Amino acid sequence: MNRVRRVEEKDGGVTYRIEVEEPSDKRLDRYLAEELSLSRSHVASLIEAGRVHVGDRIPKKSHLPETGDLIVVEVPPPEPTVALAEDIPVDVLFEDEGFLVVNKPAGMVVHPAPGHHQGTLVNALLHQVGRLSSIGGAHRPGIVHRLDKDTSGLMIVAKEERIHRKLADALARRQIVRLYLTACWGHLDRDKLLIEADVGRHRGDRKRMAVVPGTRPAATEIERLERWRAADFLKVRLHTGRTHQIRVHLRHIGHPVVGDRQYAEGWERGLSTGAGRWARELAQRVGRQFLHAAELAFEHPVSGDSLHFTAPLPEDLEGAAEWARSTS
């Protein structure tokens, strides 16, 4: 019989240690579900989140437990069923009765999700404006479109359901212009290009996206603004809004986003000696993915007035860009 011990309980979470005393022909997700009286889907999510270890390894769900395995399972506390208001400063560029335009800082998650149920943009806006559109559910109220945690810049957030639907429809019809500033490794072979390639879930890693034919169509328009020593400074227009679209498309053509730890980890080390030193210095100066949502242009969903918002590069990216220009 296996020995199961609860080794720590803290803030509603618990850590289990299981010492396997005889081999099993059951997959790890099913094995743990039975040993810990959890649902199999819950166990699968814990494995995918890296909260299950067999020895010093993060296993696959298909792993078959073997005699002598030490399995450690970290079960986090249950998350709130609704997003809570938090007093966090937010840079609001525009607000009326129906929606806001905000300038999200890098490092802030947009809405509550596993591992991030506090400190998000939604938590902050609920405190600042009191109410957001219920479209999107309890954890994603008001979110018309998203930005990655480490992407800074402009976002539209709806306060009222009717306005949310109009803005979402305008986005789907490509009537909202979204322009980004980014830097990519290496040099494009021309100053302007349009990337059209389907984007879907990576077949081997569910946390990543990839160009996967037959999934969701995606189009990204790119213009080179500056040519640096071993990188290009780009303006990018999104024609569709797939998850990680800019990052995936630039990786697909061999020029991933500078500082992107998910799609370009260590990319600069493959450059030639002199360029490699320059690239490593740039990556250190950036400290995150060089991607900023710089412009939004669209018609007001009620009045029809033309609206145009801009957000300059934040200090960290502007400082890196100035260094890149001065050394190129």
Query: Which of 204, 206, 238, 193 has the alpha carbon at shortest distance from 219?
Result: 238
End-to-end CA, the chain: 66
CB atoms within 10 A of CB 114: 13
Structure tokens at 66: 């073997």
Phi/psi of residue 218, each to 5°? -145, 140
Instruction: Check 29, 148, 260, 316 and give the catalytic one.
Output: 148
Amino acid 311 reads A
Active-site residue flag, 148: yes
Dihedral of alpha carbons 236, 241, 242, 244, sign: positive
Query: Which of 209, 275, 213, 267 has the alpha carbon at shortest distance from 243?
Result: 209
- Distance from CA of residue 224 to its chain's centroid? 24
CB burial of residue 201 (10 Å; 0-12, 13-18, 19+): middle
Give the span between the Cα atoms of 136 and 72, in whole angstroms: 35
Phi/psi of residue 51, each to 5°? -95, 5
CB 100 within 8 A of CB 301: no
Structure tokens at 122: 């939604």
The residues assigned a catalytic role are 148
